[in-house]
Amino acid sequence: MVVFAFYAHTLFNLPSSVVTPISAALIAGGLIWLAILALPTLSIPPGSTPLRNISIGLFTLAWGGFVASAGVGFFSKPGVTINDMGVFAVEVGTPVLLLLNRRRGQLIDALGTICVGFACADMLANFLAAAHIIDLPVYSGRLDANGYRIRYPGLTGNTDASGLVAMVAIFDLAAGLRQSDVPRRILRLAVILALVVSLNLIDARRYFGMGLIGLAMILIPGSKRVPPIIPIVLIAVAGLWFTFSQFGFDDDRRARLMIDGYHKAITHPWLGEGIFYKDPANLQPSYQSLHDAGVTESGVLDLAIAYGIPAALSFVLSPILALCSFRPAQTGAVVILTMLTAALAFGNTLPGFFGAVLFYGCLIYIQRDEVPAPVPPNPLPYRPSP
């Protein structure tokens, strides 16, 4: 349901405003049920290394800041809606349910596997539409040498949603390459290549770039020795540079929205303004419409505006420290969390269940479940023979 929620409106031919609340209720119910099943044998492991424990402490501070800010906002801000409370429940309630869930690793693997199926369906639809075999709603993309580029958003009708699903599918296939025999390895590589081509057709630039970087992190031997803070900083800086250098026809609008978000964040720096819901159904691709809806084009700014700057900084530092812990191998969870953390600089997937379950699931898994790199024993002192 977490992944299918992107596609439900297409299958049932219903508006998202009808399908999304139903999907959210089913997803929340499933996560609550899994948490209840774990209660009789509940065991919340601590962090396995000091750095992971610091990460847990920072996330706890951030979570407390979220709750305090939302509590103040719900009582002081007029006109709080059920949708505002829903966003708060997703961003603040999801990590609690995943902390109680003892199957975080299985959940991440399952999401990756399901993403492969939906990404392949998007890929097939995009290829058929590009070949003019079927009709698929398309959008005008960025300007290139020949004019407007056609964007094929897959079956979701949303380039960001299809792009995120395709990126996670690529990581899932790549993470299983070493455990596959030769024929399955060739098949996985062929599907990965096809998904990369489909991701290019989707024209979700952020996910296309992050997909290639994450693929390199998984496939290049010894890449785990590179601290994840390096790709996080490089991706964040590149995303912001493209935004503020007016690279493309819509990036000037994005830069203005980010600047507006920064000024809004520093207006209430300590506890923020409280959480608020941005209705995508009423948004128009214009600066004024997005500005009036409170869109900032940045997850970090969204968090700072809603919950305050201290809570936002603690939140961002938590996954960075968790990712910088030593580990024996590069896993899919590490790569996914690296990309989603970097993307907070110029995007935000947390308000939706898919992004929230991915981000929090990978974060808590790395903090508490990931096996750290073994510490070599101290060598015996040298004793010369008589």
Confidence (pLDDT) at 386:
59
Helix axes 159-175, 182-202, angle to 10 degrees: 160
Asked whether residue 377 is domain-assigned, the answer is no
Asked whether residue 168 is domain-assigned, the answer is yes
> Token match 């991701």: residue?
199
Confidence (pLDDT) at 124:
97
Q: Which of 224, 200, 235, 247 is nearest to 343 (CA)?
A: 235
Asked whether residue 197 is domain-assigned, the answer is yes
Question: Is the C-alpha dihedral spanning 51, 54, 58, 64 positive or negative?
Answer: positive
Q: Which of 318, 314, 283, 311 is nearest to 297 (CA)?
A: 283
Helix (H, G, I), strand (E, B) or coil at 142: strand
Q: How far apart are CA 227 and CA 241, in angstroms?
A: 22
* Bridge partner list, 151: 139
- Residue 373 DSSP label: P
Asked whether residue 360 is domain-assigned, the answer is yes
Number of H helices, E strands in the chain: 16, 2
Asked whether residue 108 is domain-assigned, the answer is yes
Measured CA distances, 94 to 24, 87, 155, 308, 358 (Å): 12, 10, 27, 20, 10
Q: How many distinct structural domains can be found in the chain?
A: 1
Residues recorded for the chain: 386
Q: How far apart are CA 94 and CA 85, in angstroms?
A: 13
Asked whether residue 383 is domain-assigned, the answer is no
> Token match 């596959």: residue?
180
Q: Which of 225, 74, 203 is nearest to 140 (CA)?
A: 203
Query: What is the span of the domain harbouring residue 178?
Result: 4-369
Confidence (pLDDT) at 383:
56
Q: How far apart are CA 346 and CA 237, in angstroms?
A: 9
Confidence (pLDDT) at 358:
97
Q: How far apart are CA 71 and CA 54, in angstroms?
A: 26
Structure tokens at 269: 């720096």
What is the pTM assigned to this prediction?
Answer: 0.92
Confidence (pLDDT) at 326:
85
Confidence (pLDDT) at 202:
93
Digitized pLDDT (tens) for each residue of the chain, 386 residues in all: 999 999 998 888 888 878 888 999 999 999 999 999 988 888 888 898 999 999 999 999 999 999 999 888 777 777 788 888 899 999 999 999 999 998 899 999 999 999 999 999 999 999 999 998 998 878 765 545 455 678 899 999 899 999 999 999 999 999 999 888 999 999 999 999 999 999 999 988 899 999 999 999 999 988 888 999 999 999 999 999 988 886 444 457 888 899 999 999 999 999 998 888 887 767 777 888 898 888 999 999 999 999 999 999 999 999 999 999 988 888 999 999 999 999 999 999 999 999 999 999 999 999 999 976 555 555 555 556 65
Q: How many CA atoms lie within 13 A of 322 on its CB side?
A: 34
Q: Dmax over Cα atoms in the chain, in whole Å?
A: 87
Structure tokens at 110: 């399952």
Asked whether residue 80 is domain-assigned, the answer is yes
Asked whether residue 379 is domain-assigned, the answer is no
Structure tokens at 231: 């790709």
